[in-house]
Structure 1
């Protein structure tokens, strides 16, 4: 346990995290202690919805969505689950945060409007920090120590469209890899992605899970500021299968079998496909999600609206792979990532 995690959280709640039964309520994030919150804050708090269900002995699971506020599929999935689950369905402990970064969810933004905080970069957090850091601190110091698993549901938001998938980071302990891969197979999305590390590093939830000895799985679902019905449906069935697989539910809440899961490795960031033009233009993709591309293949073109007679510049893949996600905004310039690739491969 870090020195920060020993601090007492300034977020309070009427819920008893260890009480038996189903509880619904709020974590109350105080705003008066943070001097950038606005002129009308006074002694206000930000309500963060939370549900706990505890019944007998068994594993503990934390379910999260709204880590980024404008990623919607996970929020809908967890709200559906909250309304469905009863105390007798649970064996052990379930904690559900359907809007983990509640200020970002309320503002319909990826990051918090209170402090521009990206919750998935703030762990382990600080009880005396800004609002986002305070939320991260409570999750790592109060919630993760009570669970064995954390399932965090993400989507592509406004900037990226993903091939819907479940994601694990390769565990630091080789003997835990097989168990982590089994979570992907039970979740049963058509694509299961194994990454070498989280994009957010130790400041992401996966970093917090590793510090607390908690097994982690996340998703990438949908994109474009809307909700993908097919992604919600696939992931909703997958999540209830997963909850039964780890032993926290007493019955299987779906009769749908998992899809065969194709395991892919995300290529290193230096092998993503980037725009490399000094002038911003309109990106025209020439390949789509799930397509196989080859090294040196032209996968897109950038058109220049200020000089429409100019030939478009080609965007070239430096390496081969399968298109896992693509950039959504068409206006594109040097340094913008337009495609992320994955590859099949044997797990060592």
Structure 2
């Protein structure tokens, strides 16, 4: 029997339930929605988590499509799922946990007696570190961005190559290979010996079908490659970035992009112009280095100095 919170499944069974992480202000128990899919045959364990940031919904879309397709009779090993990690942020469609104004993905490995976010991080970290592989599903929140997978443990970490392999198998086409901030699940779990990646499934407000499909394919790529399901996968070369140039607006106005997401740029290429409301060009910004146009703001209006876009640099193929 394998359990996660109140969900328990014997080999060949699937169950859903709740993982208790605290109480609301009126004393009601807060439980995260969880699922256990226990394969009929022995094997490894995969942990999947979505909505660590409460307004990043594409991962929830992935879970909603993947779980109904998992037949325990065809599965070797176990899949553990936390469908919504940031309970309070999800309820109000906010990035941070409004109870303690904290970004959950900066609270790992958590604290069972700590703040609201630390308690959620503790409970989900305990579940994640029972697994052999971890997928922490994210998206670019309100930014426009390519579908990418982030490897956050750092290039000198003992699990770096295994995390890179997991990212390549997930196969979004792009990998961000850069050590993450303290408190990220994708940085903390490798310290416990668990290869972990952070797929950033595009950038949108709400539901983005194309990015959700990237995530669904990625999960099934992982399940097949690592022997949870029968079949074969062929990991394609990925475009990998190790660093980023960020660009702000030199003046206020409306942004007019001159390149598209995923497009290769050369040093000196025009990235965007800033115009006034009548279309008159006020400023033009060019790339400082060769790279890939990786991320940009969603709304076109900007104030002087406000973030506009990022170019992935130090590019190679992995």
Q: TM-score range by the shorter chain?
A: 0.7 to 0.9
Contact 1:161 1:325 in 2 (8 A): yes
- The DSSP-based 3-state class of the residue aligned with 1:203 is coil
Look up the match of 1:156: 140
| Whole-angstrom distance in 1 between the partners of 2:138 and 2:179 | 16
Look up the match of 1:233: 213
Relative to structure 1, the CA distance from residue 309 to residue 196 in structure 2 (aligned partners, 3 Å threshold; closer, same or farther) is closer
Relative to structure 1, the CA distance from residue 224 to residue 185 in structure 2 (aligned partners, 3 Å threshold; closer, same or farther) is closer
Q: 1:236 Cα shift?
A: 0.9
| Whole-angstrom distance in 1 between the partners of 2:66 and 2:95 | 23
* Alignment partner of 2:107 out of 88, 106, 122: 122
Higher strand share: 2
* Alignment partner of 1:328 out of 298, 309, 315: 298
TM-score (structure 1 length as normaliser): 0.79
Relative to structure 1, the CA distance from residue 211 to residue 334 in structure 2 (aligned partners, 3 Å threshold; closer, same or farther) is farther
Contact 1:273 1:318 in 2 (8 A): no
Contact 2:85 2:124 in 1 (8 A): no
* Structure 2, unpaired ranges of 5+: none
Look up the match of 1:242: 222
RMSD of Structure 2 on Structure 1 (CA): 2.7
* Alignment partner of 1:72 out of 57, 66, 72: 57
Look up the match of 1:289: 261
Relative to structure 1, the CA distance from residue 325 to residue 240 in structure 2 (aligned partners, 3 Å threshold; closer, same or farther) is same
Q: 1:180 Cα shift?
A: 3.4
Contact 1:144 1:212 in 2 (8 A): no
Residues 78-157 of structure 1 aligned to structure 2 (within 5 Å): 78-140=63-125, 142-157=126-141
Look up the match of 1:5: none
Look up the match of 2:272: 300
TM-score (structure 2 length as normaliser): 0.86
| Whole-angstrom distance in 2 between the partners of 1:211 and 1:181 | 15
Deviating more after overlay: 328-337 vs 66-75 = 328-337
Aligned length: 312
Relative to structure 1, the CA distance from residue 222 to residue 202 in structure 2 (aligned partners, 3 Å threshold; closer, same or farther) is same
| Whole-angstrom distance in 1 between the partners of 2:292 and 2:312 | 5
* Structure 1, unpaired ranges of 5+: 1-11, 33-40
Look up the match of 1:195: 177
Q: 1:152 Cα shift?
A: 1.3
Look up the match of 1:42: 26
